Chains A and B, each alone.
Chain A
Amino acid sequence: MSDEESEQRGQRTSDVPVDLTRERETFVRQFLRKGVELTETVLEENKTLHDKLNAAQREIAMLRAQVASDDAIRDLLKKIESLETERNKLLEKSTELEETTRQKETRNVEVEQELHDLANLYIASSHLHSTLSVRGVVKHLKELLQQLVGAEIYAIYLMDGDGTAAKPLACDGVELSALSPVVKGEGVVGEVMMTGIPKVSERWDEGGTLEAPLAAVPIMVRDQAVGVIAVATVFEQKERWAAVDHELFKLLGSHAATALIAANLYADADGALVALSGVAGHLTQPPSS
């Protein structure tokens, strides 16, 4: 600024009236004060807003966490539901499998029993026909009755020549000499001999005797009874007839005579070859009635 301008400015300042200067100063002070107040207000509001912002952010974070937790709970609940459904299905399957296993075990027991019964029949039959000795056949008959049926007192009767009575052939639990012949048609045993129909009692409470046996089984050749097996008593541990006993009685009825006849005829033959002579001839002859 040149000296002239400075001089003019100084001259202008001294020309401004004192009131205006004071007014100007007052205004500037007021302006500055108001500015400070405004600034303080703004700063305060800023702080308040800042605090509110922080609070809001904290709340958002909390809400987010809660939502996430709710989602997790929802997921867990869904998972639990799905696992419970799976568990119920598995329990159902397990019950079905248990039932199938139980049925299989029951069937297994039945099959084992059937196998045992068949073994009894096979062994009885094969032993009966395994010998051509009369003593051997009778021994096997007795073994079959005692060991497989459980007969304690029994007698085997065979029809005599004229077919009117049966004489005792073998027995157990009683002396053979103490037994009398059985007349066809007389008494339980005689009736069985006449009819060819076995009598097997399921009632054991009164016990049995050789006259009224627990079982009377006719020994058959074709349709003719040629003898009887009478079972008076069984071993005390035997509580009832088993299914296999009825089958053994049938086997005895149909095979005992055959085995005895074969052994009896062989006893008179002079060896196997003699016994077999004439076999081919029988095949060329017409069958007998």
Chain B
Amino acid sequence: MADFSCLVVEDSPMMRQLLVFALARIKKIAVTEAEDGVDALRKLANTRFDLVVTDINMPIMDGLKLVKRIRSDETHKDVPIIIITTEGSTEDRQRAMALGANAYITKPIQAPQVIAKVKELLKL
């Protein structure tokens, strides 16, 4: 039984699989996948998550809108959020952090970097 549950929100199946693989390296985490922001909100409504990892550029609802919605949700307002995106500018990073993201990782990802950040946020 895992100690922590993590929601991965990513519209690219390839990236989603890579993130799930990276997170599987951390023994105590159970991972749930969502294809976009709307799918993520559905899952957040039914389950309490300890961590959210989300892309920004997604159809239907993008990652920044999702972050805003999560921060206004009583159950998840304090949950750590990691943004993983191709957008690498300082302005993009600042915007995401201002909305309430806890970490900002650019693609292409390095699994060791993602793992280190997750461990830092979950205090593992």
Residues of A within 8 Å of B14, CB to CB, are 123-124, 127, 140, 143-144, 147-148
- Taken together as a complex, chains A and B put the C-alpha atoms of A123 and B10 apart, in Å, by 15
Contact of A112 with B12 in the complex, beta carbons under 8 Å = no
From B33-41, B62-70, B103-111, give the one contacting chain A: B103-111
Interface of A is mostly: helix
Residues of B close to A148: CB separation below 8 A: 14, 18, 108
B4-27 interface bits toward A, Cβ cutoff 8 Å, 1 = contact, 0 = none: 000000001111011001100100
The residues of B that contact A238 with a CB separation of less than 8 Å are 108
CA distance A150 to B22 in the complex (A): 18
Tally of A-B Cβ pairs under 8 angstroms: 60
> Is B115 an interface residue when CB atoms closer than 8 A count as contact?
yes
Q: Mark B69-113, 1 if CB is under 8 A from A, else 0.
A: 000000000000000001011000000000000000011101110
By a CB distance below 8 angstroms, the chain A residues around B13 are 127, 143
Residue A120 is within 8 A (CB to CB) of chain B in the complex? yes
Q: Mark A147-161, 1 if CB is under 8 A from B, else 0.
A: 111101000000000
Chain A 104-127 interface mask (CB, 8 Å, partner B; 1/0): 000001001101100110011001
Would you call A23 an interface residue if the criterion is a C-beta within 8 Å of the partner chain's C-beta atoms?
A: no
Q: A123-B17, A123-B18, A237-B106 are in contact. Are A146 and B111 (CB under 8 A)?
A: no
Interface hits, A200-241 → B, CB 8 Å? 235-238
In the complex, A144→B13 CA distance in Å? 11
Given contacts A150-B86, A235-B86, A236-B89, contact A120 B18 (CB under 8 A): yes
